[in-house]
Amino acid sequence: MARHKTYDCSAGCPVEATLDLIGGKWKGLILYHLLDGTLRFGALRKCIPGVTARMLTQQLRELEASGLVHRKVYAEVPPRVDYSLTALGESLREVVLSLKAWGEVYLGRGAQRPQRSALVR
């Protein structure tokens, strides 16, 4: 998010600090999908229906600036860019899984429609 110009608590509140990093509109999703491993830009886009290239790029750049995501550009034609979690991003695994676990119960089902992790890899 990285806003809160006049937000006294942000400097001292760990809950909001975390939410600022992963609470963006698409950040949680991106992080979640990257938990399964490296993904190309296009693959990530397919994982997140509804996101525009503009938004995905923007959110990825913010995640990169936060040090959560690593961006690797290949000097190829056609272009190829791989996104993966950094060690810091990886350290969010438990947090993201915690969000996921609660969400599954909240959505009223223990059995979630299979995600990429169950389909690929």
Cα radius of gyration rounded to whole Å, the chain? 15
Among 2, 65, 74, 98, indicate the residue that binds a copy of itself (CB under 8 A).
98
The verdict on 21 binding a copy of itself (CB under 8 A) reads: yes
CA–CA separation, 4 vs 94, rounded Å? 26
Q: Taking the complex as a whole, how short is the minimal distance between the CB of residue 118 and a copy of itself, in angstroms?
A: 13
The verdict on 85 binding a copy of itself (CB under 8 A) reads: no
The verdict on 3 binding DNA (CB under 7 A) reads: yes
Is residue 102 within 8 Å of 96, Cβ to Cβ?
A: no
CA–CA separation, 36 vs 34, rounded Å? 5
Quote helix, strand, coil % in the chain, to nearest 5. Answer: 50, 10, 40
Contacting DNA within 76-105 (CB under 7 A): 78-81
Positions that interact with DNA (CB under 7 A)? 1, 3, 6, 24-25, 40-43, 50-55, 57-58, 60-61, 71, 73, 78-81
